[in-house]
């Protein structure tokens, strides 16, 4: 891929704004001020919300990932600037030195914007609803459209939220640059091409409704097309940085949250993080231990070690990117940057495996997490049951007409195809916060009869 052609400040949609900010800085601001981003404050990251002890939600997680992504973008941008300076034109030198980190940070900021309420449990509920109602609905859709539903994916939904024109709203969604949009495309293929075991096809990256928009994104950023039918692209070089920022944060920060909630013993948490830092920076570990001795507060100790762990993982991820630059540029790397770190460092691999094993056993299967997953699944499933069938019927009963009146106009595509109508329902339901989805569920089920709001 030509480094002068893989980014673009052009936007999907209309953009006549000119000010002192760069196009990529404006992306960050547009995301921050969007309603889709704000709703992440009430979407579960791992542990139930709210609680007496502060833990991360989707919004705080996204902000932290954006911070890590900015650091990665800065390191890699400087690397590309120095290594390829003679091949870069004037605009590209400016971009890699001063703007790549803005692109990566913006992409990190919105990487979870497509996740429905209750996280992966919400995704599972949506997919399950269509799978279990195959006999009622499948005949109304093409094979590709149906596959979009039964494998509903937050990554594809993010592209939809960021790019689609809702009823009565502006063309091009948020109007982000092609550079930012391509950076979140971890799985650049359509749903029928998803294949387990292949990194860039493990899931899918766009619905059929956004296929044309995704092709524009791919064209503007010179993505390498791997296949036409089904449509598959190789990953864009910026994607690895966004993925690494996300991987770094949830590996370390979920551990910190579990410490605050008393799920992991303090000494065990300290030992895991100290060992991880030592495996990544043997020369600097004594300094870390000395500093640790001066901190008496247990939470502050873990916060300090979390910061040092993330700092080292950032440095090592940037180095892994540099060492595999040609493979990344050609779209041929088949491992995440974190996996490369593990493969190249036995000690780090062992510690990160221990952290993952602990997280799976004690965090992701903690009773409070399992409870919210079960509840969330049922809430999302029932909301879809209430809305999908009525939206597809030509002749509706009075109760079905009343159900549709609950859906805001921006999500109604009355003149659209059945596929577009159902996607409108999914836009509404998947965009809900945990609290709003639960409240609406209680009201339509008659569990709670509401006063005028």
| pLDDT tens digits, 77-131 | 999 999 999 999 999 999 999 999 999 999 999 999 999 988 888 999 999 999 9
Q: How far apart are CA 324 and CA 341, in angstroms?
A: 11
Q: At residue 47, does pLDDT exceed 70?
A: no
Q: What is the dihedral of CA 172, 173, 177, 181, to 10 degrees?
A: -110
Reported confidence tier of residue 53, pLDDT bands at 50, 70, 90: very low
Q: At residue 59, does pLDDT exceed 80?
A: yes
Mean pLDDT of all residues in the chain? Answer: 91
The DSSP letter of residue 89 is: -
Q: At residue 56, does pLDDT exceed 90?
A: no
E strand or H helix at 300, and its extent? helix 298-323
- Average pLDDT on 290-317 reads 96
- Average the pLDDT over each of 174-188, 225-239, 260-274 and give the range with the smallest value: 260-274
Reported confidence tier of residue 170, pLDDT bands at 50, 70, 90: low
**Structure confidence by residue, pLDDT tens digits, 185-223:** 999 999 999 999 999 999 999 999 999 999 999 999 999
Q: Kindly list the distances between the CA atom of residue 113 and the CA atoms of 43, 108, 131, 422, 438, in Å, as whole numbers in the listed order.
A: 10, 10, 24, 19, 19
Q: Which residues contact 412 (CB under 8 A, 6 or more apart)?
A: 167, 404, 421, 424
The whole-number pLDDT of residue 52 equals 45
Question: Taking the CA atoms of the chain, what radius of gyration do you get in angstroms?
Answer: 23
CB 440 within 8 A of CB 126: no
**Cα 78 off chain centre by:** 25
**Structure confidence by residue, pLDDT tens digits, 243-283:** 999 999 988 988 888 888 888 899 999 999 999 999 999 99
| Beta partners for residue 269, in sequence order | none
* Residues of the chain above pLDDT 70, percent: 94
Q: At residue 49, does pLDDT exceed 50?
A: no
The whole-number pLDDT of residue 133 equals 96
The whole-number pLDDT of residue 372 equals 80
């Amino acid at each position: 891929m030509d480094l002068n052609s893989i980014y673009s400040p052009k936007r999907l949609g209309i953009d006549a704004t000119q000010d002192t900010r760069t196009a990529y800085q404006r992306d960050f601001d547009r995301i921050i001020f969007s309603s889709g981003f704000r709703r992440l404050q009430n979407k579960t990251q791992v542990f139930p919300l709210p609680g007496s002890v502060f833990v991360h939600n989707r919004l705080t997680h996204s902000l932290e990932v954006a911070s890590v992504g900015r650091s990665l973008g800065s390191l890699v941008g400087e690397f590309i600037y120095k290594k390829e300076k003679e091949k870069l034109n004037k605009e590209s030198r400016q971009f890699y030195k001063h703007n790549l980190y803005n692109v990566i940070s913006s992409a990190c900021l919105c990487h979870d914007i497509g996740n429905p309420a209750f996280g992966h449990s919400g995704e599972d509920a949506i997919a399950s609803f269509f799978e279990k109602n195959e006999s009622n609905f499948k005949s109304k859709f093409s094979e590709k459209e149906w596959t979009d539903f039964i494998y509903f994916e937050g990554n594809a939904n993010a592209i939809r939220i960021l790019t689609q024109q809702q009823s009565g709203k502006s063309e091009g969604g948020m109007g982000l640059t092609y550079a930012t949009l391509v950076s979140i495309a971890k799985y650049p293929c359509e749903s029928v091409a998803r294949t387990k075991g292949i990194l860039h096809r493990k899931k899918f990256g766009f619905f059929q409704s956004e296929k044309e928009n995704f092709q524009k994104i791919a064209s503007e950023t010179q993505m390498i097309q791997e296949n036409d039918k089904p449509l598959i692209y190789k990953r864009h070089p910026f994607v690895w940085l966004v993925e690494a920022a996300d991987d770094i944060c949830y590996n370390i920060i979920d551990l910190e949250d579990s410490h605050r909630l008393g799920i992991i013993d303090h000494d065990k948490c300290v030992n895991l993080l100290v060992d991880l830092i030592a495996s990544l920076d043997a020369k600097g570990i004594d300094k870390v231990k000395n500093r640790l001795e001066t901190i008496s507060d247990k939470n502050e100790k873990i916060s300090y070690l979390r910061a040092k762990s993330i700092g080292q993982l950032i440095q090592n991820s940037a180095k892994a990117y540099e060492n595999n630059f040609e493979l990344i540029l050609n779209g041929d790397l088949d491992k995440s940057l974190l996996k490369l770190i593990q493969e190249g460092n036995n000690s780090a691999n062992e510690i990160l495996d221990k952290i993952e094993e602990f997280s799976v056993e004690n965090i992701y299967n903690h009773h409070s997490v399992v409870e919210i997953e079960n509840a969330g699944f049922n809430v999302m499933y029932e909301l879809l049951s209430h809305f999908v069938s009525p939206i597809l019927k030509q002749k509706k009963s009075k109760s079905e007409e009343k159900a549709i009146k609950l859906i805001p106009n921006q999500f109604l595509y009355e003149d659209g195809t059945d596929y577009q109508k159902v996607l409108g329902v999914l836009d509404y339901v998947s965009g809900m916060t945990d609290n709003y989805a639960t409240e609406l569920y209680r009201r339509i089920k008659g569990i709670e009869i509401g006063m005028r709001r």
